[in-house]
Amino acid sequence: MKQWNRWDSSSYGWADAADEYEQLLYESQPLPASDWTHERKVRMLSQMVDYYATHQQADGAIVDPYSEAERYYSTPSYALAAAVLVSTGREELIDSAASALTHSIELLVSGRTPDQHPDFFIVMIMGAYRILKGRMPEQAERWRQALATIEPEETYLFTMSKMKNPNRMINWNAIMLSGEVIRQAEGIASHDTTWIDDYLQKYHLPRFTSLGWYEDGPLDRPNSPFAYDIATRYHLGVMMLSGYAGTTAHALQTRLQHGAMSSLLTLSPLGELPPRGRSAQHQWNEAAAAFVFTIQAQQAYADGALQWAGAFRRAADKTWAAIEKWQSSEGYVQIVRNHFSAEQRHGYEVYSNHTTYNLWTAAALAYTLWYEQPEEITPYPIPAELGSRTLQADGWFETVFSSVPDQQIVIHTALNDPYMIPGIARIQRTGLHANLATSSSGHRDQGFTEFSAGDIVPLSYIPAWQTADNIWHHLAEGIPTAVPFDRDAGVDPSDGGGSYRIEQSSTTTAHNQFAIRWQGPLQGVNQVVATYEQSPGHIVVTYEVSTNPEAKSNTSTEQLKQIGAWIPLFLSDGQEYSTIKTERIDRSLVATQTEQSIPALDRADKTPLSSATMIEQEQVEVITVTYRDQSIRIIPITPEATITFPDEANQVASRNGLLRGARIEAKGSRISFEIFL
């Protein structure tokens, strides 16, 4: 890798993938100038802040219009976002921002933070303080005096003094440390970083994987949500920019760079982060990523790595755009990517609140704007737009990513996690609505997540099989574990004897193929092999189940009655329903229509279909899903396969709304189908 200053790839887990992308990047052409200008971003943030200004009380507090109370860290988030807007020229917001800041400081130093979340306050308070102090010197002195009374081990909740448990030094503690570094930089606290170094060295650096991802949760059993990876890296990035230079600074900076690269390599073509674990599909995921990508773009630009800078710049723009799609005319955003009303809390976590997560999103975007430099960085294609690759997550993240130009699939692999079931959880393609081919799956256990409609059913693109007793089983049914599922702690992926590995992986410029072999004490079988082949606009999936001769099983494949494939069909976003229909049509017509719908550039390095499609069938049964004037088709390849719609999956809850489950069924132990996007 042609390294720019401050980038160290020597210990990076995906160095080869980064090198391959870099070669494509240097051969690519720059893209047109971005329409995501600084002014456009300020307007978007202004709309969010202006909406919540109408919910500010006389004492400065921001009250949630649905729970009718001040929730979590809404008020300091508002203070920061409003203060950043003041710095852009919105001087009329200064009194509102100052009032929110005063109230937030009073809550923090008096131990009265709403919902007991003091650890989140300080990084937002200090951001607002830095901006407003020069404009309001008399008030700033009172703020300063109050902030000087903070004793970290007593003021905050997630400290060793309070928790006395290393496993509890999670993202909360890192967020608090980020704010404390700013307090030191402002001369309000001692400049001694020894205690901060100690926390970082003992409890946070060990959580980073070789890919720079932060594993949140207990140290011995992290649950590793992607949301809390990006949120922690965002805060630690603020800490680094605020002047942290302690003993862990170099190691931490390297890990943050690696994490930024991994987020770039796995960002969807629509600008969304991967869905895994709690708080997935919440808008603040992409707001934190916007900060991470923006800072990395500026570092690369300063070092003369213009193509890398352009790729990170485009990634940042895509995350802004992903959020804007869900911004209402009133200014707030749908905090989870569906159109159910905020009162219904569909897809919310138990701790999600409309005001909290709108304003957390606003605060992260505000910090991004605050640190954004004026240089005009020319955009370049991100990895999801350039080349093909299959990547396996490390640590406890249990996810596989596969992309071809402008298209990505995300597969979860753990066999024993009822909150994140195995199978394809997401398919996204440029130009198609993110929900059309599904962006999140169902659940076996809803964990933290609340739904206002639909049933809790473990539905994703997964293999199924019917045993001799006429019972249908599937991969997401799970395997028994020694330790019961705990939504806070997560599960050890190996608990219960399940495992997986990637096989037969091959890629070309615009095509890839790979197989995942799952093994474990499944119902009736010991092995499931899923083969995935994709090119732009087209995905072929094949499932095969068998009994491993070396493993004990109560059922042989000869006793299997049928093989099946569950298909999650997007049903409703809470505002609009899709149209789902099946019909029998001529196969040659399918191929012709598909070729016509895929641009010539996409077809250049694309096999005609898959070898699996070359079967002697004049007509095939087709599922067509049409949503917001866009369609996808799912077509069985296996001869004489049938399509059913089992009652138990008529309406399945997902974060994006409702899914409907279809099952393709056939005789034997092997089944194939294809998806036309």
Residue 6 domain-assigned (yes or no): no
Contact residues for 659 (Cβ-Cβ < 8 A; gap 6+) = 438, 441, 442, 454, 459, 568, 569, 570, 571, 649, 651, 652, 653
Q: Are residues 456 and 394 in the same domain?
A: yes
Q: How many domains does the chain have?
A: 2
Instruction: Answer yes or no: are the C-beta atoms of 404 and 382 closer than 8 Å.
Output: no
For residue 559, what pLDDT is reported?
78
pTM of the predicted model as reported, rounded to 2 decimal places: 0.95
pLDDT at 607 over 90: no
pLDDT, tens digit, 9 for 90 and up, residues 113-154: 999 999 999 999 999 999 999 999 999 999 999 999 999 999
Give the HSE-up count for residue 40: Cα atoms under 13 Å, Cβ half-sphere: 8
Average pLDDT score over the chain: 93
Position with higher pLDDT, 307 vs 600: 307
For residue 558, what pLDDT is reported?
58
CATH number of domain containing 380: 1.50.10.10
Residue 7 domain-assigned (yes or no): no
Question: Which of the four pLDDT bands, split at 50, 70 and 90, describes residue 612?
Answer: very low
Question: Which of the four pLDDT bands, split at 50, 70 and 90, describes residue 591?
Answer: low
Question: Which of the four pLDDT bands, split at 50, 70 and 90, describes residue 620?
Answer: confident
CATH number of domain containing 603: 2.70.98
For residue 615, what pLDDT is reported?
45
pLDDT at 215 over 90: yes
Residue 3 domain-assigned (yes or no): no
Instruction: Answer yes or no: are the C-beta atoms of 402 and 514 closer than 8 Å.
Output: yes
Position with higher pLDDT, 474 vs 1: 474
Query: Where do we find the tokens 């402002």?
Result: 186
pLDDT at 398 over 90: yes
Nearest CA-CA partner of 278 in 488, 71, 478, 456: 488
pLDDT, tens digit, 9 for 90 and up, residues 295-351: 999 999 999 999 999 999 999 999 999 999 999 999 999 999 999 999 999 999 999
For residue 3, what pLDDT is reported?
55
Helices (H), 88-225: 94-109, 121-132, 137-147, 152-155, 160-163, 171-185, 194-199
Q: Are residues 87 and 199 in the same domain?
A: yes
Q: Are residues 574 and 472 in the same domain?
A: yes
Instruction: Answer yes or no: are the C-beta atoms of 62 and 74 closer than 8 Å.
Output: yes
Residue 10 domain-assigned (yes or no): no
Q: Are residues 489 and 614 in the same domain?
A: yes
Poorest-confidence range of 201-210, 499-508, 642-651?
Answer: 499-508
Q: Are residues 205 and 100 in the same domain?
A: yes
Contact residues for 23 (Cβ-Cβ < 8 A; gap 6+) = none
Q: Are residues 299 and 407 in the same domain?
A: no
| Percent of the chain at pLDDT exceeding 70 | 93
Contact residues for 600 (Cβ-Cβ < 8 A; gap 6+) = none
Residue 127 domain-assigned (yes or no): yes
Q: Which residue, of 384, 408, 425, is where some domain finishes? A: 384
Q: Are residues 115 and 256 in the same domain?
A: yes
Q: Which tokens go with 273?
A: 């982060």
Instruction: Answer yes or no: are the C-beta atoms of 625 and 660 closer than 8 Å.
Output: no
**Mean pLDDT of the 512-520 span:** 96
For residue 618, what pLDDT is reported?
73
Q: Are residues 566 and 660 in the same domain?
A: yes
Q: Which tokens go with 141?
A: 């002195």
Q: Which residue, of 384, 414, 448, is where some domain finishes? A: 384
Nearest CA-CA partner of 601 in 354, 343, 298, 381: 381
Q: Are residues 174 and 321 in the same domain?
A: yes
Question: Which of the four pLDDT bands, split at 50, 70 and 90, describes residue 438?
Answer: very high
For residue 72, what pLDDT is reported?
97
Residue 554 domain-assigned (yes or no): yes
Domain span holding position 106: 15-384
Q: Are residues 342 and 469 in the same domain?
A: no
133 burial level (CB within 10 Å; 0-12, 13-18, 19+): middle
**Mean pLDDT of the 395-416 span:** 97
pLDDT, tens digit, 9 for 90 and up, residues 122-133: 999 999 999 999
pLDDT at 562 over 70: yes
For residue 599, what pLDDT is reported?
46
Poorest-confidence range of 16-25, 268-277, 449-458, 602-611?
Answer: 602-611
Q: Are residues 533 and 465 in the same domain?
A: yes
For residue 549, what pLDDT is reported?
53
Poorest-confidence range of 13-22, 181-190, 401-410, 488-497?
Answer: 488-497
For residue 604, what pLDDT is reported?
41
Residue 414 domain-assigned (yes or no): yes
Residue 125 domain-assigned (yes or no): yes
pLDDT at 548 over 70: no
**Mean pLDDT of the 439-447 span:** 94
Q: Are residues 123 and 246 in the same domain?
A: yes
pLDDT at 610 over 70: no
Q: How far apart are CA 602 and CA 431, in angstroms?
A: 13
Q: Which residue, of 365, 384, 403, is where some domain finishes? A: 384
Phi-psi domain of 463 (left: phi exceeds 0; alpha: psi -120 through 50; beta: other): beta
One-character DSSP codes across 462-504: EEEEE-TTS-EEEGGG----SS--BTTTB--TTTTS-EEEEEE
